[in-house]
Amino acid sequence: MLNLPFLKKTVKTDLLEDQSNCIALDIGTEMLKGMLFSTNNLGVDIKKISRIQQQEHAMKSGIIRNLDTVLENCKLCIDELSKDLLEEELPRNVIIGIAGEYIQGVSIVVNYQREENFDNEVTQKEEEKIIAKIKNRIEQGGREDLSQRIGLKYEDIDILHITPTGTEIGGMPVNSLVGYKGKDVKLHFYASFAPKTYISALKQVADSLKLNLLGIVSQPFAVARAFAGSSDSSFNAIFIDIGGGTTDIAIVEKGNITDTKMFGFGGRVFTKEISRTLNLEYRYAEQRKIKYSQKELTPELSKKIQKASYSTSKLWMKTLKAALESCDDVDIFPSQIYLCGGGALLPEIKEVMMEFPWKKLLPFPVVPQTKIFTPELLANITDSSGKLKNIYDITPASLAKFAYDQEIEKKNINIVGGD
């Protein structure tokens, strides 16, 4: 297994067995979202949800700008989630999402040939040797690629996670190579890298909260993997998460994530344009934008916000087009698009997407269908809180699902290995 790099070695966790409470933390630009959850063999149980409005100076484009302010908001969130819990029920672990333009995600497909004894079954030791060799290659190549792209030194870049997303031997998909015979092996991985400064800030958050850090996860990857059926070999889709500071994209082809992109254009840009157009303070403009999305404004006011939102949506669409054009590993785009995140509530987003000439400007075989990624489409999620109803809660729920997937992977490897 390829462990998350920030799993504390001194703390042994078996989240499936002890079903202890954990925290999923989506530190968004506009809203900090937390979920109290536990896992068992069947999936994730969401018990409580907390949402804390972030101050305008706290974040920028998904990145922490004022650590003290964000820490205070995190503590408020944890206090709200922990309220009325018994001592033994208090959360001990946290999983945190990360977004931003400098987060680099890459899908890797490795073809490997078992030159010797390929008629023998793969052993646990052989599988570990294969994966270790591949992991080392990914670490070297991924860091070098990101350092060239964003101008950081090699040593200033860290690995977030290297996650296996598919395994084949002799052309047959399998959960693990162990016990199978064959010469040709194909392994799919998703690797995510980020500048050490970003990661350091999030580690400080976990340390300050006195919680064991299960991992720091690329949010578009987590969102795409949390969709029910997204790992099926016949599944193809584009996921677009429009947050306050960033828009995150994940492209899934044949059940594997082939590319992720993030750009610093989210709901905050819309709020600033509404603020300028209506001559309002930022916080009041944000309130108006939310009420507009919920159809709670007068027709006259709605018309003004609609005009500002539409022109901003056209700019957003141009930026989305540029991001999709930079997806080097995609020859033909999937014809299904799923939207989530608070920004997706603005009707003008879907409007400009419907107007966009997809087939003319990008390699789409047909005009893509655009749907909303609603919570009932999440896989292996039970909502005991009764509050998992909003599309902006998809990301923290996806982080919880990522933690569950890691535990299931550990369990399967232990079973196969005979531990």
Tally Cβ neighbours within 10 Å of residue 355. Answer: 10
- Confidence class of residue 416 from pLDDT cuts 50, 70 and 90? very low
Q: What mean pLDDT is reported for the chain?
A: 89
Give CA–CA dist 213/103, Å, rounded: 19
The model's confidence at residue 141, banded by pLDDT at 50, 70 and 90, is confident
Read off the tokens for 289: 């934008």
Residue 54 structure tokens: 């972030």
The yes-or-no verdict on residue 139 having pLDDT over 90 is no
Strand-pair partners of 95: 24, 215
Nearest to 210 by CA among 67, 70, 74: 74
Closest CA relative to residue 401, chosen from 227, 236, 257, 240: 227
Q: In terms of Cα–Cα distance, which of 197, 198, 215 is closest to 206?
A: 215
Please give the structure tokens belonging to residue 120.
Answer: 């023998």
pLDDT on residue 412: 65
CA distance 372 to 44: 22
Are 43 and 380 within 8 A, CB to CB? yes
Closest by alpha carbon to 217, among 232, 234, 198? Answer: 198
The residue among 301 and 176 whose pLDDT is bigger is 301
pLDDT digits (tens, 9 = 90+) for 199-229: 999 999 999 999 999 999 999 999 999 999 9
Which of 306, 328, 174, 319 lies closest to 251 in space, CA to CA? 328
What pLDDT, in 10s, does the model give residues 267-278? 999 999 999 999
Q: Which residue has the tokens 């079973």?
A: 415
Please state, in angstroms and rounded to a whole number, the distance separating the CA atoms of residues 170 and 112.
11
CA 31 to chain CA mean position, Å:
16
Mean pLDDT of 308-332: 94
Average of pLDDT values for 164-179? Answer: 85
Residues in Cβ contact with 357 at an 8 Å cutoff, skipping those fewer than 6 apart:
none
Q: Rounded mean pLDDT of 380-403?
A: 96
The rounded distance, in Å, linking the Cα atoms of 349 and 391 is 14
Tokens of 8: 């504390």
Q: Who's near 17: CB < 8 A, 6+ residues apart?
A: none
Structure tokens at 406: 């890691």
Tokens at 134, concatenated? 């591949």
pLDDT of residue 413: 56
Cα–Cα distance measured from residue 54 to residue 274, given in angstroms and rounded to the nearest whole number: 19
For 379, the token pair is 């896989």
pTM: 0.89
d(CA 196, CA 207): 16
Percent of the chain with pLDDT over 90: 62
How confident is the model over 134-162, as a mean pLDDT? 76
Using pLDDT thresholds of 50, 70 and 90, give the confidence band for residue 112. confident
Both tokens of 280, joined, read 């309002």
The lowest-confidence range among 101-105, 162-166, 172-176 is: 101-105
DSSP annotation of 181: -
User: Is the pLDDT assigned to residue 3 strictly greater than 70?
Assistant: no
Structure tokens at 324: 């999709």
Mean pLDDT of 176-185: 88
What is the share, in percent, of the chain residues with pLDDT greater than 70? 94
Q: Encode pLDDT of 348-390 as tens digits.
A: 999 999 999 999 999 999 999 999 999 999 999 999 999 999 9
Integer Cα distance of 397 and 45 in angstroms = 10
d(CA 307, CA 327): 31
> For the segment 40-88, what is each residue's pLDDT rounded down to a tens digit?
999 999 999 999 999 989 998 888 899 999 999 999 999 999 999 999 9
CB atoms within 10 A of CB 121: 12
Type of residue found at 59 = M
Q: Identify the pLDDT of residue 192.
A: 86
The predicted pLDDT at position 7 comes to: 35
Which H or E run includes 162?
strand 157-169
Domains and CATH numbers, the chain: 15-101+197-226+379-412 (3.30.420.40), 104-196 (3.30.1490.110), 247-252+260-372 (3.30.420)
Helix or strand holding residue 167 (H, E)? strand 157-169
Structure confidence at residue 194 (pLDDT): 85
pLDDT band of residue 236 (cuts 50, 70, 90) is very high
Q: Which residue has the higher pLDDT, 142 or 75?
A: 75
The DSSP code for 122 is: B
Which amino acid is residue 379, in one-letter code?
A
Q: How many other CB atoms are found less than 10 A from the CB of residue 237?
A: 22
Report the pLDDT averaged over residues 278-301: 94
